[in-house]
Amino acid sequence: MRALNLDFQPRRRCGPLGWSLLAVGVMLVLGCILVQQHISAETAQQQGHLQTAQRVLTGDTAGKVSLTPAETREQAQNLAEMRKVSQQLRRPWENLFALLEAMPRDNIALLTLTPDARKGQLRISAEAKDLDAMLDFHRNLEASEELSDVSLLSHEIVANVPEHPVQFNLSATWEIGDANP
């Protein structure tokens, strides 16, 4: 028979391959931890940007720095000016121009149109060949649907011109119907 070899304390099998695999595993774990921390930091930064953008879009003033009184006044003036321009732009300009272009103006020359969107008024400066042409123009404006309360503010006969034209100013309320002023 063969001789039995009983080894009650076996040799350890820790060779260079085992130690290198352990080192590679440890480096992979550390690399994963570093990547996870980097991704967490990026996520937190992006969340901060998102919250800032949401506050700006919703108008939340909790995170804003308070303005000085001068900056507040300037901001209020800018806002009032923007509202004024917006009201001017929302007016039905096409209807007004179509009305004025459709009117007989053989003896009338329009000089200026000055709208006031806040008051809903329109000021017209014009020049007429004579007083009758001015009065006819006034009657035609009163008869229109878009303008009401047409009133003559001033008129002047130009004496130093041989034809003696009449320069005049009218004021009218500009009706806008269904449009939002």
The 10 Å Cβ neighbour count of residue 22 is 11
12-51 residue pLDDT tens: 777 888 889 999 999 999 999 999 999 999 999 999 999 9
CA 114 to chain centre: 25
- Closest Cα partner for 82 from 42, 37, 117, 108? 117
pTM for the model stands at: 0.51
Domain boundaries in the chain?
93-174
The tens digit of pLDDT for each residue in 74-112 reads: 989 999 888 877 777 777 778 888 888 888 778 899 999
Q: How confident is the model at residue 177 (pLDDT cuts 50, 70, 90)?
A: low
CATH of 93-174, picked from 3.40.50.12280, 3.30.750.210, 3.40.950.10, 3.30.1360.100, is 3.30.1360.100
| Residue 169 vs residues 43, 108, 109: alpha-carbon distances, Å | 66, 12, 12
Q: Which residue has the higher pLDDT, 174 or 170?
A: 170
Burial letters for 120-134: b for 16+ Cβ neighbours within 10 Å, e otherwise?
bebebbbbbeeeebb
Supply φ then ψ for residue 31, to 5 degrees.
-60, -45
Q: What is the model's pLDDT at position 82? A: 87
Rg for the chain (alpha carbons), in Å?
42
Average pLDDT, the chain: 85
Residue 176 pLDDT greater than 70, yes or no: no
